[in-house]
Amino acid sequence: MKAFDYQRPETIAEAIKAASKPGASYYAGGTNLLDLMKVGVRTPDSLIDITRLDDLKRIEPQKDGSLRIGALVRNSDLARNVDILSDYPAIAEALLSGASGQLRNSATVGGNLMQQPRCAYFYDPHSACNLHEVGEGCDALEGENGKHAVLGWTKTCIAVHPSDFCVPLAAMGARVVVDGPDGSREISIDEFYTLPGSVQPPGSALKQGEIITAIILPSDAKRFAPRARYIKLRDRTSYAFAIVSAAAMLHIGDGRIKDARIALGGVAANPWRAREAEDTLNGAEANEASFKKAADAALADAKPSGDNAHKIELARRILVRALKAAADGTPPKMPDLPGSVFAVGKEAR
Amino acid sequence: MADTPMVAAHHVRLGSNSGQPMTRRDGIAKVTGTATYAADNHPQNLLHAVFAGASIARGRVTSLDIKAALAHPGVVHVMTPDNTPALSQDPDQKTTPFTARIDVLQNDKVRYAGQPIAVILAETLEAAVEGARLVKATYDSDQARIGFDDGEAFAPEAVGISTPPKFSTGDFEGNRKKATQSASVEMETPLQYHNAMETHAVVAEWDGDHVTVDMPNQAIGLAKPGIANYFGIPPENVTLRSPYLGGGFGSKAVLFGPQMLGILAAREMKRPVKLVLKRGQMFGPVQHRSATRQTVRYDMDADNRFLAFEHTANVSTSSFDNWLDGAANAGLSLYATPSISVSHSGTRFDTGTPGAMRAPGIATGSAVIECAIDVAAEKAGMDPLEFRLLNYAEKDPSNGKPYSAKALRGCYKAAADSFGWKDRPLKPRQMRDENGLLTGWGMGTSIFHAPFFPAKARAVLRKDGSARAETSGADMGQGAWTVLWQMAADGLGMAADDIEFDIGHSDLPDGSVAGGSAHTASAGGALFAAGNDVIRQLAEIATQDKDSPLFGAGNERVLGENGRLFKAEDPNVGESYTDILQRAGIEEIEGKGRGNRDKASTETYAMFSHGAVFAEVKVDPDLFQVRVTRLVGAFAAGRIINPRLAQSQLTGGMIWGVGFALHEEGIHDKRSGRPLNNDFAGYHIPVLADVPHLEALLVDEEDPHVNDLGVKGVGELGITGTVGAIANAVWHATGVRTARYPIKIEDLLKGAQALKA
Ligand SMILES: Cc1cc2nc3c(=O)[nH]c(=O)nc-3n(C[C@H](O)[C@H](O)[C@H](O)COP(=O)(O)OP(=O)(O)OC[C@H]3O[C@@H](n4cnc5c(N)ncnc54)[C@H](O)[C@@H]3O)c2cc1C
Ligand code: SF4
């Protein structure tokens, strides 16, 4: 790979300074960035290794009841955190459904948010891809695109965001805390990701030098804890990215849904919050008919970006499944196969 | 396990060490990291070589800019067609059947994506890798041809290693006319890449015109003269070391371009050179399994017996070589039928050349045949097992020969009983589990040839009681270090712990190919015979020595065991090997051996290992994700030398069957021809959660004809049968048969939607 400078700052301020130079890139667990460097798709001039920034490794309950998770908390540690398991169980389930044990031990919260699409043409430096360089074109459009987006895409890019973790984050409206040359700010996860435009490929709201320091899980999402699930469809039982996935969180009282939160994974360049679907559920009975209506609403605008029309139907179905599972209640114990379609049902409880 | 029947001149028994479930004798070296794989060698003054691969699949390199690469710190040299000397043998000439056409910078042609177009030599691996990235090529490229609809058709002269592409027997047309019903299935199988954990590698060091090569290799006896040919030196000038292989699966039996480039670079640079393929480079120059498009049809009479069997396969190969997977030969010896017609056609893809991959031909063909059998059983309204038993082949249907041994009935029974097959509903979509998941059961028959290669071995017994046995052999992780050692020790009539043992080196007697599931029988037979030869000589000495208690005992009646020679009838009469040698004043006895298969037997009998695999799958009724929840196989493969390792091979094969059925698929971009999933994130194989319950039962089988020791192979058997069993179980769960492997969620969804409509 291309030779690069390597720096390991001791403070966030130093890190920001170092990363503000064009060509600089933060390095956390390295599980995504290193792979991209090895194939020659990412060629940073300098790597700013942030793994010594101990301030970013804490999980702290806040006064307002929210939970602040440092950007360098490892995926494995977060998934086993007591507060997460009791208050935000879908987050733990999503994390444990992703990648493998070894990868989760290395991968960080910030890196997970910032991971790049898994589109094969993006991984191939010889293919045309607007994520290599704006204007290069998109070889996926006429290529192997069975796993690509069905929502929010343009011909600029049809890739999907691959993260599992981000799907329940989107559903509950988590906030991303960033720090940077212009100071610190908080961005809702909805606004954090940008969908592709007519020229601009998808990306994030981060500017050069900006670092994710934490994410904040809102306190009001805790009321979903008894009914929160993440379900993920994949090509093998474990260790595979989602074909489609769904996070569903329900607050039910007096036999009716009082509040619902829904997001889909594997369908768009962002973790796709389905507000229209949530709206259909407010005040509805928690039954299959309501769930199907919600799923139809969520996918109403979906269209295939290639040889992937089946994903629309599968996304509908996975959402119905996740809603049913949520309505059945969060399992008291993490299922053996977290997030798996095979973890749903009695086995899970 | 019964002893080998004593035959004249056998002074030892297979059975003291053999038959024991010994753990791996190389296990401690492997888990402690002291086992040296080829790339673990670091001779002094080493240069690292990395090749740059073509980014087009067909055309010509018109220019190669190597300035930036050469300027990169640490880069010493860049080999290109302009400065690379010709090999002594044209690499497109194939002088022996086990050679492939290889690409070694002899011209500017590009024949597949990833083909080496330059080799970067550097002081560090990092510099070489970056040098390869900095090489900039321009091309004159033609449209790549990938897939059966785009590739160029051709008529093959042979399939597999050298089998005819067409075969027929019986009155095929006549029988077809007589048939009252028929069942046929059309299916495709994808390109599959071997992807052993250890990627291909070479460390080469020249000393004058002698070269020492560390390279994982399954066929040392063939590789040595092969390398010598390319470099114009006598075979004895090649030392090849391959003590451990991190998997081979057929792809390390042949010499390939990248390794030859490493050896060539070492000669050019006059320094040792190491070249190790990156994972992504495994998807081009080092073989794969052909893609196939197959049709299988069985015609039956009113009693549901087969009258005619037809199998056609369109099989992929490269644009420049001719290996074709012999998929349509998989059913020749499988089920009883009076007439057969099989044929292969070929299609040229712009990929590297395919080759043998675990159970070549049979894995691919039986994956489709076993589906056709179940479709036929459904038409007959019969249970799939009953139906297979009705059409059980007592004789090989392709030639009428009896089987040397065939305990397949026992396999069906053992596996079906353990699985609990008997309550299986005939119709699909009948079973649900307590969680509402669709549940299906399916089965398949396993079969694999029992070939035998002419391996050689040597054994030595010394005056101090120590002993040694050796053959070039190869352990790819299948357990040869252990199993061959067990057989060698039995040959010498000693405990395995009491002998020295060596394999994996070209200075040792040629142990032949570790392939074709023949290695244990061939190399093990040779080792046993070599030991026996030692004990024969020892017995001669003892029985002619007046001071020996064995004096005068007939040769036939003297046995060696545990380092002691004694009378067969009266084991109390005897003495230790050391006593005999010391008294005779003989330093050591050397024995030589070859395994033996009786020539007449080969002509008289059909020789195969058999098995039966039963699969249970659970399928989500809405989302169609599939999980193989149980796999139970029972296998009969003659005498089992090490039940633990045999089971490990069989379950390994079954797991591969899961991958074949549900996961594996090498995807190339149709326009550029480049592989799109050339890493383990994209090229899926089963993970542990995909195989929650695996059972491999061993069924007793005595095969008096297959070779002197009655040993067959188990390396490839497990994958055959398993693939079809899973597809049949998926059908039983869902009512859907997909038109291609791997079985995909989207295809099941579409199939289920079509069923509903
Ligand atoms: C084989 C494989 C399978 C996988 N399967 C799954 C899966 O099923 N589901 C899933 O969700 N994920 C999966 N992953 C992806 C994995 O979750 C990510 O690689 C991981 O989360 C990235 O985290 P990291 O800390 O290693 O990031 P790095 O690789 O270090 O960084 C990734 C990117 O994030 C940036 N970055 C990192 N930290 C910060 C920060 N604090 N602020 C700003 N930018 C930052 C880096 O600059 C870089 O661009 C898989 C990965 C692999 C290799
Ligand atoms: S889909 Fe997006 S990531 Fe893939 S090639 Fe097109 S632009 Fe690149």
List residues in chain B touching A: CB distance below 8 A: 55, 126, 129-130, 133, 280, 434-437, 618, 620, 622-623, 625, 627, 662-663, 667, 669-672, 674, 676-677, 681-682, 684, 686-690, 744-746, 749-750
What chain B residue is nearest to A146 in terms of C-alpha separation? Answer: B746
Query: Residues of B with CB below 8 A from A337's CB?
Result: 689
Contact between A235 and B745 under an 8 Å Cβ cutoff? The reply is: yes
- What are the DSSP calls for B205-238, one per residue? EEETTEEEEE---S-HHHHHHHHHHHHTS-GGGE
Q: For the domain that residue A295 is a member of, what is the CATH number?
A: 3.30.390.50
Strand order in the sheet with B574-576: B558-561, B564-567, B574-576
**In residues, how long is chain A?**
349
Angle subtended at Cα A302 by Cα A300 and Cα A303, rounded to the nearest 5 degrees = 135
The answer to the question of residue B445 being in a domain is yes
| B621 and B585 co-located in one domain | no
| A173 and A236 co-located in one domain | no
What Cα–Cα distance (Å) separates residue A29 from each residue in A128, A208, B181, B423? 28, 19, 62, 52
Provide the strand spans (E) within B595-660: 608-619, 626-636
The answer on pLDDT for B96 being more than 90 is no
What Cα–Cα distance (Å) separates residue B528 from each residue in A349, B452, B523, B600, B732? 57, 15, 9, 22, 47
Ligand 2 neighbour A158 (Cβ under 6 A): yes
Contact between A143 and A104 under an 8 Å Cβ cutoff? The reply is: no
Q: Do A321 and B437 touch (CB under 8 A)?
A: no
The answer to the question of residue B589 being in a domain is yes
- What are the DSSP calls for A118-174, one per residue? --HHHH-TTS-BTTTSTTS-BTTTTS--TTS-SSS-BTTB------STHHHHHHHT-
Q: What is the DSSP letter of A84?
A: H
pTM, 2 dp: 0.97
| B484 and B420 co-located in one domain | no
pLDDT digits (tens, 9 = 90+) for B239-258: 999 999 999 999 999 999 99
| A91 and A45 co-located in one domain | no
Domain total for chain B? Answer: 2
| B426 and B538 co-located in one domain | no
- What are the DSSP calls for A276-297, one per residue? HHHHHHTT-BSSHHHHHHHHHH
Nearest partner of B218 among B477, B34, B405, B7, judged by Cα: B477
The answer to the question of residue B241 being in a domain is no
Q: Do B690 and A39 touch (CB under 8 A)?
A: no
Query: Residues of B with CB below 8 A from A35's CB?
Result: 681
| A171 and A67 co-located in one domain | yes
| A168 and A285 co-located in one domain | no
The answer to the question of residue A334 being in a domain is yes
| A81 and A207 co-located in one domain | yes
The answer to the question of residue A80 being in a domain is yes
What Cα–Cα distance (Å) separates residue B320 from each residue in B93, B326, B756? 11, 18, 46
| B470 and B433 co-located in one domain | no
The answer to the question of residue B724 being in a domain is yes
Name residues whose C-beta falls within 8 Å of residue B251's C-beta, 6 or more positions apart in sequence: B194, B196, B200, B286, B287, B288, B355, B356, B357
Has B123 been annotated as catalytic?
Answer: no
* pLDDT over 90, % of chain B: 95
| A15 and A102 co-located in one domain | no
Kindly calculate the radius of gyration of chain A based on its CA atoms and give it in whole angstroms.
19
| B447 and B465 co-located in one domain | no
pLDDT digits (tens, 9 = 90+) for A266-300: 999 999 999 999 999 999 999 999 999 999 999 99
| A285 and A198 co-located in one domain | no
The answer to the question of residue B20 being in a domain is no
Pocket of ligand 1 (CB under 6 A): A 25-33, 35, 71, 98-99, 103, 106-108, 110-112, 114-115, 162-165, 211-212, 241; B 681
| B640 and B553 co-located in one domain | no
User: Domain residues for B616?
Assistant: 401-452+601-757
| B718 and B638 co-located in one domain | yes
| A199 and A269 co-located in one domain | no
Q: Least CB-CB distance to A144: which of B133, B627, B667? A: B667
| B522 and B592 co-located in one domain | yes
The answer to the question of residue A20 being in a domain is yes
Q: Do A144 and B674 touch (CB under 8 A)?
A: no
| B440 and B459 co-located in one domain | no
The answer to the question of residue A121 being in a domain is no
Q: Which residues pair with A7 in a beta bridge?
A: A48
Provide the 3-class DSSP secondary structure of residue B239. Answer: strand
| B446 and B459 co-located in one domain | no
* Spans in chain A with pLDDT lower than 70: 344-349
| b/e sequence B127-150, b meaning 16+ C-beta within 10 Å | bbbbbbbbbebebebeebbbbbee
How, if at all, do strands A46-49 and A59-61 pair? unpaired
What are the structure tokens assigned to B236, written together?
């004895």
pLDDT digits (tens, 9 = 90+) for B727-742: 999 999 999 999 999 9
Q: CA–CA separation, B211 vs B227, rounded Å?
A: 9
**How far is ligand 2, taken at its centre, from the CA of residue A40, in Å?**
16
Contact between B219 and B513 under an 8 Å Cβ cutoff? The reply is: yes
Q: Which of B596, B615, B643 is the last residue of a domain?
A: B596
The answer to the question of residue A234 being in a domain is yes
**How far is ligand 2, taken at its centre, from the CA of residue A262, in Å?**
26
Residue B440 has a CB neighbour count (10 Å cut-off) of 26
pLDDT digits (tens, 9 = 90+) for B656-680: 999 999 999 999 999 999 999 999 9
Q: Which of A153, A186, A219 is the last residue of a domain?
A: A219
Q: What is the DSSP letter of A348?
A: G
| A208 and A108 co-located in one domain | yes
The answer to the question of residue B117 being in a domain is no
Q: For the domain that residue B566 is a member of, what is the CATH number?
A: 3.30.365.10
pLDDT average, residue stretch B14-37 = 95
Q: CA–CA separation, B2 vs B712, rounded Å?
A: 16
User: Domain residues for A15?
Assistant: 5-52
Q: What is the DSSP letter of B619?
A: E
| A12 and A34 co-located in one domain | yes
What are the structure tokens assigned to B451, written together?
């070939």
Q: Which of B547, B577, B596 is the last residue of a domain?
A: B596
| A256 and A319 co-located in one domain | yes
pLDDT digits (tens, 9 = 90+) for B704-720: 999 999 999 999 999 99
| B610 and B747 co-located in one domain | yes
Provide the mean pLDDT of chain B: 96
pLDDT average, residue stretch B223-241 = 96
- What are the DSSP calls for A172-206, one per residue? HT-EEEEE-TT--EEEEHHHHEE---SSPPPEESP
| A209 and A311 co-located in one domain | no
The answer on pLDDT for B595 being more than 70 is yes
Ligand 2 neighbour A195 (Cβ under 6 A): no
| B506 and B605 co-located in one domain | no
pLDDT band with cut points at 50, 70 and 90 for residue B9 = low
Provide the 3-class DSSP secondary structure of residue B460. Answer: strand
The answer to the question of residue B523 being in a domain is yes
Counting ligands in written order, the one closest to the CA of A123 is 2
pLDDT band with cut points at 50, 70 and 90 for residue B555 = low
Ligand 2 atom with least separation from CA of A158 = 1
Domain total for chain A? Answer: 3
- Output the pLDDT for position B97: 65
Q: What is the DSSP letter of B415?
A: H
Ligand 2 atom with least separation from CA of A128 = 5
Q: Which of B552, B573, B596 is the last residue of a domain?
A: B596
Residue B699 has a CB neighbour count (10 Å cut-off) of 21
Q: CA–CA separation, B711 vs B452, rounded Å?
A: 10
pLDDT digits (tens, 9 = 90+) for B435-491: 999 999 999 999 999 999 999 999 999 999 999 999 999 999 999 999 999 999 999
* Interface A:B, Cβ pairs < 8 A: 103
Q: Do B618 and A342 touch (CB under 8 A)?
A: yes
The answer to the question of residue B648 being in a domain is yes
Q: For the domain that residue A11 is a member of, what is the CATH number?
A: 3.30.43.10
Name the residue of A32, A54, A72 to mutate for ligand 1: max ligand atoms within 8 A of Cβ.
A32
* pLDDT over 90, % of chain A: 97
What Cα–Cα distance (Å) separates residue B425 from each residue in B127, B383, B677? 63, 8, 39
Q: What is the DSSP letter of B523?
A: I
